[in-house]
Structure 1
Amino acid sequence: MGTPLLLLVALLLLLLPLVVLLLAHRGARKGKNGGRLPPGPLVVPFLGNWQRHSVEHLVARYGPVVSLRVGTRAIVLVADRRVAHAALVESGAALADRPAPARAFLGETGCTVSRAGYGPVWRLLRRNLVAGTLHPSRARLFAPARAWARRVLVGKLRAPEAPPRVMEELRCATSSLLVLMCFGERLSEPAVRDVAAAQRNLVLFAAHHAHVFAFCPAVTKRLFRRRLRMGLATRRRQEEVFMPLIDARRERKKQLDKGGGAVALTNKAPTAFEHSYVDTLFNTLPSEEGCRLTDDELVSLCSEFLSTGTDTTSTALQWIMAELVKNPAIQEKLYNEIKATCGDEKEEVGAEEDTRKMPYLKAVVLEGLRRHPPAHALLAHRTAEDIDVCGYLIPRGASAIKMMPFGAGRRICAGLGAAVLHLEYFVANLVREFEWHEVPGDEVDLAERHGTTTVMKKPLRARLVPRRIHRAATTAP
């Protein structure tokens, strides 16, 4: 490691004169057309901003629109709703692109809904995701999956161990649901944990260790070879876990196609589900696009499906339930609405037919998302041309980011409807099943901790009092 460090020091010494010049000239920066770039911290040539600051610090110091530079890439942070609307809605087409994939060394080609460039491939992938899996008309297909996840979750929360590990159980329930929706297979809890661990390890590596490769990848791949090997091993582990599930659904589809869908599957397992997200991907790209999705791309799309729906949903659920614990009057008002709508005879609060009749439930969920968005920054939008937004120049090729739960404009989250449906469903059923109280001597703390999502610094612990007669959790979806 000695030689790479010496090379890095030598490079910094060579750049020192330029740093001195920049320190002497810290006036307003101008774009090539004379427009004023948003304010921001000092930029060092080739290296970008020398110091790393939190978003809160940058906004407090420079205002609601801040410009940064990471390596050679310009970034604009937007923390004002008026500017965000002007950028993402009024200038939607100019800001609908994505930066080039920063994790290509991990198998990311940009062929996912969230990372693809603005064009025909993105449109195909998004249309397939929405029409095939997330559209409200498809919600009833996954009702048995939601009911199974709910029964298992309620059964665990009823266990005599008290107080329950709320966040862990919420994450396990949402993981089980999303894995079933993605791969069409009801897996055992250890198998779900394997899938979740492989997915989470890759997300954690990308969040905490992959940023160095954004600066001059040809050099940093050599300087950080050990880190690169760790990332590749993490990706291989994900492929080892995902590919057998993908291949099983591919074989199932071949049997259905061979029999015209009219014959029974020879290897149909009692845990298999009729519909899954991965089923829709096998014929997503039409022949005129040149080829089908590769196995690497299938793994990336399944990884995206799980990562955007698991941690975000479980994190939002924990925040909402924590607020209900802190505000018992609101919890009681919500319970009264649930009871008036569903009565005591129904086994569950239905995600489609019941929750739509509950305006107060919707208000509680939306207020929870407003107060505690699971992430404080969106995936970056890339400008296709120089644009002027509220008097600021956002230069061509820059990334623009706005902090909001689901985004806005043409790249608004495709899973918005499904995410809200899942939140309303679980919140309603958890409040219907239990009274949620603080644990004496262990009060709820709403302090935040930033990670892959913005979680509670002190995980939620609650004393749960069952409201209804115990119903045994079953394993059939």
Structure 2
Amino acid sequence: METWFLILFTISISLLLKAFFNLFSSSKKPPYTLPPSPSTFPIIGNFLWVRKSFFQIEQSLRRFSRSLGPMVTLYIGPCPSIFVFDRSLTHQALIQSGSLFSDRPKSLPANKIMNSNQHDISSGSYGPNWRLFRRNLTSEILHPSRVKSYSHARKWVLDILFDGLQEKAKSGESVEVLVQFQYAMLSLLVLMCFGDKLSQQQIKEIGDLQRRVFTGFGRFNVLNLWPRVTKILLRKKWDELFKLRKDLEDAYIPLIRARKKAKDERLSNKGSDDYVLAYVDTLLDLELPEEKRKLDEAEMVTLASEFINVGTDTTSTALLWVMANLVKYPHIQDRLLVEIKGVVGDSVEEIKEEDLQKMPYLRAVILEGLRRHPPAHFVVPHCVTEDTVLGGYLIPKNSTINFM
């Protein structure tokens, strides 16, 4: 009896001491805390968010910002993600303190399968490899002089767009403009990526595959919660993820190998004179500075998929919003038509690219459309390289921060 009393007494004293020290330590609050967050579940955080993609929870996040303020913390599993909704805070972080916020968060296990362990631009950690990928894309493909070399590709895609719209119109069916825009942009990006004009069937298969990749970001989030557990309990979903990656490689690796063969033939003076540099051509020449090796085929598949995925929906969505505003505001449409006729005349049906430089109002319409209806409502996730303060709140080292 005395032994049990001693045990209970010791436990009681321990609990009282713990409560006393907790009270004492809580009186000394840290100077900065994390931004406010909605109610969370203990240990697992906001489990409901794990089952949704970032795009699906955007409306909820904006609703939270109206009640919690310009910065919100969301616990996705055990790790906090911070969301910033204020323009001045975004400018302060990305422009004034760009070096602190320049890194990318570490990819979760399921994501690493699709991005080849962060060997791409959108998820790669800030460093020599990331700078190499970004410089290669901007200087070799997106540079104005290089963009001009794709004029024949844009003409081909313009014909595809017109033919698709006219075919739907003549059949009496409703014309889904967004579908036609998406297919046209996909055709252009596939040509710029692999250097070949693929068949309509091949392009549609690539489009379906990229759509599966895009929607998979949300579907496979749950696998990242407890990978060791989900590999047992959610084995079928892991198998789906691996199959998606295999399908992507099966579709792209033959195109990469064909382009490598064409490039080798050109170097041996057996190729055609109308050879135009493709994105895959530049990837074949890259050497990773940190690892002292060239990209393997799986990493080239990841970069090619990123190139096609990022450009297709954003461009087609921007075009759709511009067209919608032209329909909504007929006076803008009339003024734009007057400018076009003033440059090319009444009888010309097709506008040449060099004529576009003479149409400032057309440029203004496009830019205003992008300002009012940005295709993406947030930038890729960032993380800070050391503990810092933004808007009076603590941003811990290596935490994920998103700018909306």
**TM-score for both structures, normalised by structure 2:** 0.84
Kept in 1: contact 2:128–2:290 (CA 8 A): no
Paired with 1:78 and 1:35, the residues of 2 have a C-alpha distance of 17
1:37 aligns with 2:15: no
1:185 aligns with 2:196: yes
2:309 to 307, 310, 314: 307
CA-CA distance at 1:286 after TM superposition: 5.4
Q: For structure 1, which segment, 109-118 or 313-322, has the greater mean C-alpha deviation from structure 2 after superposition?
A: 313-322
Paired with 1:313 and 1:157, the residues of 2 have a C-alpha distance of 18
Between the two proteins, the alignment pairs up a number of residues equal to 366
Q: Which runs of 5+ in 2 are unaligned?
A: 1-21, 50-56
Q: Which runs of 5+ in 1 are unaligned?
A: 1-24, 404-477
Kept in 2: contact 1:30–1:36 (CA 8 A): no
1:198 aligns with 2:206: no
SS of equivalent to 1:400: strand
- The letter for the 1-side match of 2:342 is A
**Where does 1:12-411 land on structure 2 (aligned, <5 Å)?**
34-52=31-49, 54-102=60-108, 103-106=111-114, 108-159=116-167, 160-162=170-172, 163-206=174-217, 208-257=218-267, 259=268, 263-265=269-271, 274-285=276-287, 289-344=291-346, 348-351=350-353, 353-403=354-404
SS of equivalent to 2:293: coil
Kept in 2: contact 1:186–1:273 (CA 8 A): no
Paired with 1:197 and 1:65, the residues of 2 have a C-alpha distance of 36
- The letter for the 2-side match of 1:205 is G
CA-CA distance at 1:332 after TM superposition: 1.4
Paired with 2:112 and 2:133, the residues of 1 have a C-alpha distance of 19
RMSD: 2.5
CA-CA distance at 1:354 after TM superposition: 3.1
SS of equivalent to 1:94: coil
Give a deviation string over 1:230-282, Cα, whole Å, max 9, x none: 1111111111111111000011122233x1xxx232xx6x9x85221000001
CA-CA distance at 1:196 after TM superposition: 1.2
Q: For structure 1, which segment, 147-156 or 56-65, has the greater mean C-alpha deviation from structure 2 after superposition?
A: 56-65
- The letter for the 2-side match of 1:276 is A
- The letter for the 2-side match of 1:36 is T
CA-CA distance at 1:108 after TM superposition: 2.8
CA-CA distance at 1:30 after TM superposition: 12
Kept in 2: contact 1:107–1:296 (CA 8 A): no
Q: For structure 1, which segment, 317-326 or 372-381, has the greater mean C-alpha deviation from structure 2 after superposition?
A: 372-381
Kept in 1: contact 2:288–2:295 (CA 8 A): no
For 1:428, the equivalent position in structure 2 comes to: none
SS of equivalent to 1:374: coil
Kept in 1: contact 2:44–2:77 (CA 8 A): yes
Kept in 1: contact 2:47–2:76 (CA 8 A): no
**Pair 1:277–1:60, CA change in 2 (3 A):** same
CA-CA distance at 1:222 after TM superposition: 2.2
Paired with 2:151 and 2:348, the residues of 1 have a C-alpha distance of 15
CA-CA distance at 1:86 after TM superposition: 0.6
Identity %: 40
**Pair 1:86–1:170, CA change in 2 (3 A):** same
For 2:19, the equivalent position in structure 1 comes to: none
Larger radius of gyration: 2
Kept in 2: contact 1:86–1:390 (CA 8 A): no
Relative to its length, the structure with more helix (as a share) is: 2
- The letter for the 2-side match of 1:317 is L
CA-CA distance at 1:344 after TM superposition: 4.5
Paired with 1:401 and 1:356, the residues of 2 have a C-alpha distance of 36
Kept in 2: contact 1:101–1:108 (CA 8 A): no
CA-CA distance at 1:106 after TM superposition: 3.6
CA-CA distance at 1:154 after TM superposition: 1.2
Q: For structure 1, which segment, 309-318 or 103-112, has the greater mean C-alpha deviation from structure 2 after superposition?
A: 103-112
Give a deviation string over 1:423-442, Cα, whole Å, max 9, x none: xxxxxxxxxxxxxxxxxxxx
